[in-house]
Amino acid sequence: MKTLCCFAIGLLWAMCAMAQESSFVSATPDSVKVLRQQTLDRLLDLSSEQSGNSEMLEQFNLLRLQKINLNTAGFSSLLSIPFLTAPDVERILAYRKEKNGFKSVVELRKLIDEDTYELIEDFLTVGRIKTENLSQPSLLDDIERGVLWQRVKFDYIGRTLVESPLRVGFTNGAYQGSAPRIYNRIQGVVSDNLLLSALAEKDVGERSLFDFTSLTLGVRDFYNLKSLVIGDFNLSFGQGLAVQSGRAFFKSPEAVISVKQSQRQVRPYTSTAEQNFFRGAVAEVEFGVLTLIGFYSRNLISGTVNDTAFSSLKLDGLFRTESEIARNRNIDELAFGARVQLNTELFENLFSIGGTFYQTRYDKPFIPSNDLFNRKRFRGDVASVAAFDIDYLFYQFNFFGEVAYCVEQRSVSWLAGVQTEFAKGLRGVIHVRNYAEDYYSPRANAFSESSSGAQGRNERGVYLGAELKLSSELKLRAYYDYYEFPFIASNTVLPSSGNDMLMQLSYKPRRDILIETLLQIKTREEALTQLDALGREYRIATPQRTERIRTDFIYQLSERLRLRTRAEVRHFTRELVATTRRDLGWLIAQDINLDLLESRLSIDARLAFFQTDSFDAAIYAFENDLPLTFTVYAHNGRGRRVFVNLRYQIFSQIELAARYANVLRDDVATIGSGNERFPSNNPSTFSLGLRAQF
């Protein structure tokens, strides 16, 4: 009752304020903050608890550091900008040709919708148009003009996090290292052609300040050399069936843009995830319409080694206990490959076709457990993959697809889709996938429902997504995804299927008000251990259904103060043999965003109350964190969650950030299990960050 009263008071306060006449306009930086915050919230609407660096945020930051020149970028470069579709890019190129170049980024407002423009304007710049007399790289041009020193930028980020009380792993001596999580990174950019990035990080409980280090030198747009990276790098070819070492978008309420992958094919690696990146060198060279890519990587990865083979990879990057440390960087991985891509026109429409081949070799074979669900999995020390992909824009229809073949497994996986703008304000996508039960690619990361599907394995499905702007105030996003798993998995006993339906309605009755309501219904089958009449255990497939509804009410009281009220309900149903289990969860949260001292100080805070019957009904919510980090927190049990983020601009180039987060659980005495357990029902985290840009 107390919770409902708090929620009612907060909502009443916002509704009363609506009666005031506001001078807020959508073009102010505050409206852009709202748009970007809600877009991030949609893209990170995940079904699992996560924290740390997001590949998406890292890519956004890289684009801000190395902006794309509207006057020189080709089709593939422009398409690598998040939120732009192929028809958007075609209009941009046609306009550039007609007007002989852009004079300002603002001209994009004529070509794309306002929301997309506000999301991408920080990634773009307008430079000089390349001609026969001006074709040299920006670096050499800046040297000749004597302005090189003006084109050098440095970006330093430092973060530390401590928890209170300490986890049980510290008190029982299991954790070998110190308590703080520490992160340091410095990046330098010269004339948009050169990037240098150095990073060092340790997690909670790890021993060395340099538990994970990364060093990268990147060169781009240097005559025919489109990209060169020495050190750590990511690759993104086609739609991810063969190689996609850093996927930014996954299935989310952004029903259209989250499906087709259009990232930079070669880019420096700047994140802290300790697996699934390449370490070595890669070069991307353009000869007119032809692009050639070659890469070589040798890296030590982590996994469970038994005698002369390894049975699994360790992907969490945590090396705190003796057993975890024994699995650190104990597998030698060698990868090399090449790609050829043709970018041309077919029937006067943009057309791209590419072929990829790469091979991965391990110093010891991969041999998974003998469980039945592993019967069709890859086994061995060499994996070779060949793939073929196309991307064709036929008027307003963008056709794309990829087929990949694993040589050792003799298996084929494929996907195909079309993304289109049926009319102004109406976009849609269709995606069909057929991933073989025994396919294997170490670097696959394709669009899917399941984790095995992301590896391009054991999943078939059809996805339909749409985004409709019903009016200037009303926008609808929706998708329907039907999926099948033709072979058993670790959590199933039989081939299974399911579907996922989501609708989100965004309503903006005034420039200072936004209301978003989301409805999702999802079904799957999962194995569960049951007891028969004699008390004997057996496994059986149990259908499960999840329904959730969420509403956000956002009100910009002034240019400095913004409120967001959220209410979410989640209902989980599992059909058992003799009964039906039903679990309910709810969450009510109030956010406040406040800018003070002429916007030098910003406060971002949340107070949330929640109650769930089980972890199956847990409610996940995206939380802002320190710069370039985020948290997706699972609200489980009964209690309240609070966090406060502070950012203070000490000087124009230096920003100090701090965060306090706390959860109080009324239903338990301790939180967590094993070494991860907090000996309290009220643990807190304290974070401090510094960012300097020169």
Residue 650 lies in a domain: no
pLDDT tens by residue, 562-605: 999 999 999 999 988 778 899 999 999 999 999 998 889 999 99
Spatial CA neighbour of 642 closest among 680, 603, 591, 597: 591
In this prediction the pTM is: 0.90
Task: Please give the pLDDT value at position 31.
Answer: 64
Whether residue 411 lies inside any domain: the answer is yes
In 275-424, the DSSP E strands lie at: 278-287, 290-301, 303-306, 309-313, 331-346, 349-366, 380-394, 397-406, 411-423
Alpha-carbon span 139 to 148, nearest angstrom:
7
Confidence of residue 43 (pLDDT cuts 50, 70, 90): confident
Average pLDDT, the chain: 88
Model confidence at 10, in pLDDT bands (50, 70, 90)? very low
The pLDDT assigned to 130 comes to: 62
Closest CA to 661 of 679, 686, 640, 694: 686
- Tell me which residue of 550, 258, 260, 256 sits closest to 425, measured CA to CA: 256
Residue 360 above 70 pLDDT?
Answer: yes
Residue 359 has pLDDT above 90, yes or no: yes
Q: According to the model, what pLDDT value does residue 601 have?
A: 95
Under DSSP, is residue 523 helix (H, G, I), strand (E, B) or coil? Answer: strand
377 part of a folded domain: yes
Count of Cβ atoms closer than 10 Å to residue 571 Cβ: 17
Please indicate, yes or no, if residue 61 is contained in any of the structural domains. Answer: no
Q: What is the pLDDT of residue 21?
A: 34
Output b/e per residue, 266-295; b: 16+ Cβ within 10 A. bbbbbbbbbebbbbbebbbebeeeebebeb
Closest CA relative to residue 47, chosen from 637, 632, 673: 632
302 assigned to some structural domain:
yes
Contacts of 629 (CB under 8 A, 6+ apart): 51, 52, 53, 54, 57, 159
Question: Which residues on adjacent β-strands are paired with residue 564?
Answer: 554, 591
Does 479 have pLDDT greater than 80? yes
Which tokens in the block code for residue 40?
Answer: 């991030």
Residue for token digits 């990361």? 445
Q: What pLDDT digit, counting tens, does each position of 199-247 carry?
A: 999 999 999 999 999 999 999 989 899 999 999 999 999 999 999 987 7
Determine the pLDDT at residue 17: 37
Q: How far apart (Å, rounded) are the C-alpha atoms in residues 619 and 588? A: 10
Answer yes or no: is 289 within a domain. Answer: yes
Task: Give per-residue burial for 165-203: e unless 16+ CB within 10 Å, then b.
Answer: ebbbbbeeebbebbebbbbbbebbbbbbbbbbbbbbbbb
Number of domains in the chain: 1
624-669: pLDDT as tens digits: 899 888 888 999 999 999 999 999 999 989 999 999 999 999 999 9
Report DSSP letters for 629-646, one per residue.
Answer: EEEEEEE-SEEEEEEEEE
- Domain span at residue 275 reads 224-462
Return all residues near 443 (Cβ < 8 A) that are at least 6 apart. Answer: 235, 242, 243, 244, 245, 276, 335, 358, 360
CA–CA gap between residue 327 and residue 616 (Å, rounded): 31
Closest Cα to residue 572, out of 614, 635, 536?
Answer: 614
Best CA proximity match to 555, nearest among 589, 592, 518, 587? 592
**Beta strand extents in 191-277 (DSSP E only):** 194-202, 212-222, 225-235, 266-268
What's the distance, CA 680 to chain centroid?
32
Question: What is the mean predicted confidence (pLDDT) over 351-380?
Answer: 94
**Mean pLDDT, range 309-317, rounded to an integer:** 92
Q: Under 8 Å CB-to-CB from 227, ≥6 apart: which residues?
A: 218, 219, 220, 264, 265, 266, 267, 282, 283, 284
- Backbone torsions φ then ψ of 323, nearest 5 degrees: -70, -35
**Cα separation, 531 vs 540, whole angstroms:** 10
Span of 155-169, 486-500, 609-623 with lowest mean pLDDT: 486-500
Q: What pLDDT does 8 receive?
A: 37
Residue (of 602, 504, 242, 225) closest to 386 by Cα position? 242
In a domain, 76, yes or no: no
Q: Is residue 143 part of a domain?
A: no
Per-residue confidence at 49, pLDDT binned at 50, 70, 90? very low
